[in-house]
Chain A
Amino acid sequence: MGKRRVATTLLVALGSVGGAVLWRLRSGKSRDHVDLYFADGSMVSLAEGSPEANRLLGIARRILAQAR
């Protein structure tokens, strides 16, 4: 009985740690995006995947390559 409880506790603990690590890795990886700022203080964020963002990100990649 005691051994089973210890094993269960260990499994739950390992699962929690594994889940936390996975979540941390996924959330830490920022997606490519373009933020546009306007004169009135508003901002539009375009995430990679949309045609608009892909076009802008393509130009930005060219700039990065040229500037290095």
Chain B
Amino acid sequence: MEAAQALADLTEISSQLVGAVLADADGSVVASTLPDDERAAAVARAAVELLAAAEEERREGPELIQVQAALPDGSVFVVRDDRHFVVAVTGPNPTVGLVFYDLKTCLRLVGEEPAQKPARRRRKKEEQEEESADGEA
């Protein structure tokens, strides 16, 4: 699925989200719901910084996959996979599990290959040739 479409679906489904940015692992913005590109880039850079700082908490062991920072004004969520991460902002006291689920779904949809086109039908001529060959046999 196209990244912008996945992000649009995310914000439509999850009413708790105030804004979200989808970016490559290096922080390059892929899609954003923020009105300003500069702000989207700043949010993505800060999210990379947040992930790096959070990883320092446990240098060995399993990989860090998601982060929630809860503040009085709202929460910041970051979920990542091998290629992308999505950073989202909510209001205060969000339903944490639901937000994480929606963000993971968004990442999964972005990672999916576009639907394959149906196989082309064989040409009529080929079909006729096969039919005549069958008739002769």
Chain A residues in contact with chain B, CB under 8 A?
A: 30, 32-40, 42, 44, 46, 52, 55-57, 59-64, 66-68
Residue of A nearest to B71 (CB): A32
CB contact between B34 and one of A42, A60, A67 (< 8 Å): that residue: A67
Q: Are B19 and A67 in contact (CB under 8 A)?
A: yes
Q: Are A42 and B62 in contact (CB under 8 A)?
A: yes
Q: Are B67 and A36 in contact (CB under 8 A)?
A: yes
In this complex, the interface size class of chain B, counting residues with CB under 8 Å from chain A, is: 35 or more
Given contacts A61-B71, A67-B34, 15 further A-B contacts (CB under 8 A): A32-B71, A35-B69, A35-B70, A38-B62, A38-B64, A44-B57, A56-B50, A56-B69, A57-B71, A59-B53, A60-B69, A63-B50, A63-B69, A63-B87, A67-B18
* Chain B residues within an 8 Å CB radius of A37: 64-68, 100
Chain B residues in contact with chain A, CB under 8 A?
A: 18-19, 21, 34, 39, 42-43, 46-47, 49-50, 53-54, 57-58, 61-74, 76, 87, 89, 93, 96, 100
Q: Are B63 and A63 in contact (CB under 8 A)?
A: no
Q: Are B70 and A62 in contact (CB under 8 A)?
A: no
> Complex: how many Å from CA A60 to CA B34?
17
A39 nearest CB across to chain B (Å) = 4
> Complex: how many Å from CA A61 to CA B47?
11
Q: Are A38 and B54 in contact (CB under 8 A)?
A: no
Which of the listed residues A57, A59, A61, A67 has the most CB atoms from chain B within 10 Å of its own CB? A67
- A33-B70 CB under 8 A given contacts A52-B57, A68-B19: yes
> Complex: how many Å from CA A63 to CA B21?
11
B37 nearest CB across to chain A (Å) = 12
Q: Are B43 and A63 in contact (CB under 8 A)?
A: yes
Residue of A nearest to B48 (CB): A59
- A57-B62 CB under 8 A given contacts A64-B76, A68-B19, A68-B89: no
Q: What 9 A-B pairs are tightest by C-beta distance, nearest first? A: A60-B69, A40-B62, A67-B89, A38-B62, A67-B19, A39-B62, A60-B76, A37-B66, A39-B63
